[in-house]
Structure 1
Amino acid sequence: MKALLLLALGLLLPGLTDAQQKAPAKKTPPVTAQLTPAASGPKRPRNLSDEQLLDLVQRQTFRYFWDFGHPVSGMARERSNRSFDYGDEVVTTGGTGFGLMAIIVAAERKWITREQAAKRTLKIVNFLWKADMYHGVFPHWLNGATGKTIRFSPKDDGGDLVETAFLYEGLICARQYFTGNTPAESQLRNKILWMWEGVEWTWHQQNDQNVLYWHWSPNNGWSMNHQIHGWNECLITYVLAASSPKYAIDKKVYDQGWATGNYFKNGKQFYNTTLPLGFDFGGPLFFSHYSFLGLDPRGLKDQHADYWQQNQAHTRINYAYCVDNPKKFKGYGPDCWGLTASDSYQGYAAHSPTEDLSVISPTAALSAMPYAPKESMAALRHFYNDLGDNLWTEYGFVDGFSEQQNWYAKSHLAIDQGPIVGMIENHRTGLLWKLFMSSPDVQRGLTRLGFESPQLKR
């Protein structure tokens, strides 16, 4: 997602996405407890079937959001280790959206009761109800005890539209899931609706320009000056902005703001696979995960691409690169692949075929399960069976590792843990896709932008 500062790299390379501009300096911090070293962590049951192993990995990863959620707010902590000096209270907006989807999966699979899930979701919603927001838009980081903004960088101390979109991806799923008549479910539905109606997406057009801007701050105004162009992880931002009941953008904002620039259309072949959109070789794999936890890419098309084909092509290229292994890094192969943004031995980096530091990020292959199930399962078994002494903890797999460097992270990040639970579930049952796509607002927004989908009601 985004890292700590826009630094000079963002100025020298203006075509990069927000993720790639900010990644080299990301200092996602806090939290209370340092994890037990993986080698002394939980034992791993052996000889599991595919379904048993998927169950175990989803359930263990879900614990990051359930056991390790902030005790006051219930929100997802940015990361599991205290790597930087930001205090113990930092919670993340987008990661909480992914965590809400993990809670829904847990309720549906009966790892927790529906009542427990509704209670935790309402706790989060009640916290957000009183937390800082800016024209209805939440900041990237909040203080999990007070709801006050914690600035992400010197001028990033206000609304973050992309993080807010990731949050509402989860909140909309929750509103579609918790349809019961209990006081908790009724209250959370109402409060989600009222907050959702209040997000001023059009404010982020900065005086009616046909593009969305990422940040606005009451202290710094539009000085971050970061327009959201594609192709990257931000498609969901434009879809939700078009879906708003009260502040919906027009299609021309999507056409002239999102679907433009040197890194939107591609059309070239890499490893004998044609890539419709995006950077050469596809960029980090989270491009095909974050927006598509809710958005169902199966049959999703507009005038620019077939998004199932896009995400499959991106995944196949990433996989083929790791198998080819042009830098001859130790460990890479058909059962050890997946490059995306994660921690590394050098700090945080947006790993991809064009930024390959020998670091494999488990979330990359595991969250690609819908697009490459055979290859993802091979990687999952290798991570669990062969490398588990170094990778497996009480919150699932660690964030990244490099056999070349003999380095294994001790950290977990909310934005990496969440897609593992959600995308595996979408592969297995399509649960989150069904929920999100069933929203009448989302249906209206996709139609407004010219999308086709088998799930759109005509």
Structure 2
Amino acid sequence: ELSLVADLGEGNDSGRNEEGFHQWTWFGYTEAMILYILALGSPTHPVDDGAWEHFNERYLWATHYGQEHLNFMPLFGHQYSHVWIDFKGIQDGYMRKKGIDYFENSRRATYVHRTYAIENPNKWNDYSDTIWGMTACDGPKDTIFVVNGIKRDFRSYSARGTGADEHLDDGTIAPTAAGGSVPFAPEIAVPALKAMRMKYGDKLWTKYGFLDAFNPTYITPSTPDGWFDHDYLGIDQGPIALMIENYRSGLIWKVMKKNPYIINGLRRAGFTGGWLDPASKN
């Protein structure tokens, strides 16, 4: 068996591209949930017992904007593994102790982002109960300038969000943040998507749906109405479409529930209950 490099924050290089290893690291509660489950469920190169528990070691459980939950700053960390795996009703040892499941945790994280936008502590333009959602996305530019008498620090592509331990907000909103949370909290995510399309029209919604991101506070002579991206990013477009379909029909979840490697990985990680119960027909 192989040992998964679970403590990727210990100075190990992780990941490869055309130029070799990069320096980014992953540890604690992240989008890597599915990586561990696949590694545990592998029929040929499974990782050792205990990999999932090691992954849990750096979890941060805290109350943030009124929601007690497992924290991760950008919403994508609460969404990406859920695109493929239905965590509703199943629990590992960590969540059994907390009395919720990861699906409920993502619902709470979604509400954190909406509440943050309503309170809008940094007074960004347009934030409201229907204009909200921070995640990893494009941004206007790495620059600092004054808008309406306030010094603003803007970013290009960045992982934006709000958590109990860290925070990054430059006024940029990504529709995928709300779109990827439709199954968790449709009562707030669907109105947000509708409001963005209605308010910004073809500046934000074009041939292939929502452009990646926008920033209503980034007002310059060339962007008098704020900044709107010109690009679509597949990693952001995908969760919108897939999570809406999961909400509508559960299609992706149903397919993945038939995958023996996913099932084995979840069980090796200690997940029980719900659709994993042999008696369940879900």
TM-score (norm 1): 0.50
Match in the other structure for 1:446: 266
Distance 1:444 1:450 in 2: 10
Shift of 1:250: 2.3
Within 5 A, what are the aligned runs for 1:226-237?
228-237=26-35
Determine whether 1:392 maps to 2:205: yes
Distance 1:407 1:437, change over 3 A: same
Q: Which residue, out of 297, 304, 317, partners 2:87?
A: 297
Match in the other structure for 1:269: 63
Within 5 A, what are the aligned runs for 1:185-224?
202=2, 205=4, 214-215=14-15
Match in the other structure for 1:146: none
Query: Where in structure 2 are there 5+ consecutive unaligned residues?
Result: 96-100, 142-155, 219-225
Determine whether 1:239 maps to 2:47: no
Distance 2:63 2:181 in 1: 20
Match in the other structure for 2:144: none
Q: Percent identity?
A: 33
Given that residues 90 and 276 in structure 2 are in contact (C-alpha distance below 8 angstroms), is that contact kept between their aligned partners in structure 1?
no
Distance 1:379 1:457, change over 3 A: same
Shift of 1:265: 2.7
Given that residues 299 and 454 in structure 1 are in contact (C-alpha distance below 8 angstroms), is that contact kept between their aligned partners in structure 2?
yes
| SS of equivalent residue, structure 1 residue 418 | helix
Match in the other structure for 1:409: 229
Distance 1:436 1:319, change over 3 A: same
Match in the other structure for 2:157: 348
Q: Which has the higher strand share?
A: 2
TM-score (norm 2): 0.80
Determine whether 1:379 maps to 2:176: no
Determine whether 1:252 maps to 2:50: yes
Match in the other structure for 2:151: none
2:168 partner letter: E
Shift of 1:404: 1.2
Where has structure 1 moved over 3 Å in runs of 4 or more? 209-214, 216-220, 223-228
Q: List per-residue Cα deviations over 1:286-308 (Å, max 9, x = no partner).
A: 01111111110211211112212
Shift of 1:361: 0.3
Given that residues 400 and 409 in structure 1 are in contact (C-alpha distance below 8 angstroms), is that contact kept between their aligned partners in structure 2?
yes
Determine whether 1:361 maps to 2:174: yes
Given that residues 6 and 27 in structure 2 are in contact (C-alpha distance below 8 angstroms), is that contact kept between their aligned partners in structure 1?
no
Shift of 1:401: 0.4
Determine whether 1:428 maps to 2:258: no
1:351 partner letter: R
Aligned length: 244
**RMSD of aligned C-alpha atoms?**
2.2
Distance 1:253 1:211, change over 3 A: farther
Distance 1:402 1:413 in 2: 16
| SS of equivalent residue, structure 1 residue 274 | strand
Q: Which residue, out of 125, 130, 133, partners 1:335?
A: 130
Match in the other structure for 1:5: none
Match in the other structure for 1:324: 119
1:284 partner letter: P
Shift of 1:271: 2.1
Distance 2:194 2:15 in 1: 40
Given that residues 295 and 436 in structure 1 are in contact (C-alpha distance below 8 angstroms), is that contact kept between their aligned partners in structure 2?
yes
1:245 partner letter: P
Q: Which has the higher helix share?
A: 1
Distance 1:238 1:289 in 2: 15
Shift of 1:367: 1.1
